[in-house]
Structures are given as structure tokens and as C-alpha cells.
Amino acid sequence: DDVVTRPDLLKRDFTADRPGVRFVGDITYLRTGEGWLYLATVIDLFNREVVGWSMAEHMRTELIGDALTMAHTHGRIESGALFHSDRGSQYTSDEYAKLAGRFGVRLSVGRTGVCWDNSVAESWFSMLKNEMYYRQSFATRRRARFAVMQYIEVFYNRRRLHSTLGYRTPAETRAAYYAQTATAA
């Protein structure tokens, strides 16, 4: 069985020595006046940047596949990278394993029912909900999609400071890494 054979390769080591090599992801749901909106993310452990995300009215494997595809299309995933998630059926599906394989991504899953095995993804959703989602109501999925996109692309990746990153933003941390490697070369 696919679920049994997929190992936990991350083992709660939520660090990466460079961008594009270690990721976590998960799915959350957001209530709107029209019903649920589901959000899947891909977070780079190097700088906590959300490099891939997708929203839909369903939780099918396509939702998480679209988030991983976004990260890959934007050149944010190196071949051989590790992607870690919980054991949700979408993440343990053959369909997702095939997509990840096409991108050269190795898959890792935490233990069943142990949220700490994917705590970076879990805490990111908590942050999203506390800093944006719970502060307003969304009559439509379209409005919620726009607010989430704005939170990720305008605020979180570019303006939100992180103690983990020495009180820099994800974008500043990535830029500093590439500036340093360019200088070293």
C-alpha cells in the first residue's frame, strides 16, 4: 500500500541550507458565503516562502498537484528536492506520486495524527487565519481567493518578518542568499 511505504524523510528537521530543496505542504479549508474554499500550499523550508499554492471548491488530488506545479513552473524546486506532508489521501495517492516524480521530487509523509510532524505547514495556516481570515467574512469564494492571494503575494512573502529568519521577510532571505552566492562565485 502506497501509504505504508512512503517514509518520513524529514523527521521534524524543518531546515534547509539553500532554496528549492526542502518543502512542506498541507491543505486547509476556508468558509465563505458560497461554501468551502480549499487552499493547498508549498512552503520552502529555507526561507518559509509560499512558493506554490492553489485554491478550489474541492479537495481532490488536483488541488495539491496544482500547488506543486506552480512551484515547479516558477523554478522554485530543484530536482531531487524533498516535499513533506501529512498522510492525507491526496498526498499519498499514486496520481500525486507520479506528478512529483515528473518534477524529480521525493515525497515524505509524517506519522498519522501527529501534527508536529508537519508543524511548519500547520503553523502557516494558523498564521493566515489569525492575521487575515478571521478578521473578515467572505460572501463569495472569489473574494476569499483574492484575499488569500493578496495575503501570500503582497504581505506574507514580501513584508512579513520572521524571527526564524532573523527578522527578515521570505523574499529578503532568498535575495540575500542569491546575492551571497553570486559574490562567492
d(CA 15, CA 68): 19
For cell 516524480, the residue is: 101
Q: Take residue 91 and report the three cell numbers written for it.
A: 498526498
What domains sit in the chain, N to C, each tagged with a CATH number? 2-121+135-184 (3.30.420.10)
Average pLDDT over residues 13-17: 94
Q: Take residue 101 and report the three cell numbers written for it.
A: 516524480
Q: Does 101 score more than 80 pLDDT?
A: yes
pTM of the model: 0.94
Q: What are the tens digits of pLDDT across the range 23-75? A: 999 999 999 999 999 999 999 999 999 999 999 999 999 999 999 999 999 99
pLDDT at res. 2 = 43
Q: Does 1 score more than 50 pLDDT?
A: no
Computed over every residue of the chain, the mean pLDDT equals 93
Average pLDDT over residues 128-133: 98
Average pLDDT over residues 152-179: 97
Q: Does 4 score more than 60 pLDDT?
A: no
Average pLDDT over residues 104-133: 88
pLDDT at res. 88 = 86
pLDDT at res. 3 = 45
d(CA 92, CA 110): 11
Average pLDDT over residues 178-182: 91
pLDDT at res. 114 = 65
| Cα 74 to Cα 26, 40, 97, distances in angstroms | 19, 16, 20
Three-class SS of residue 42?
strand
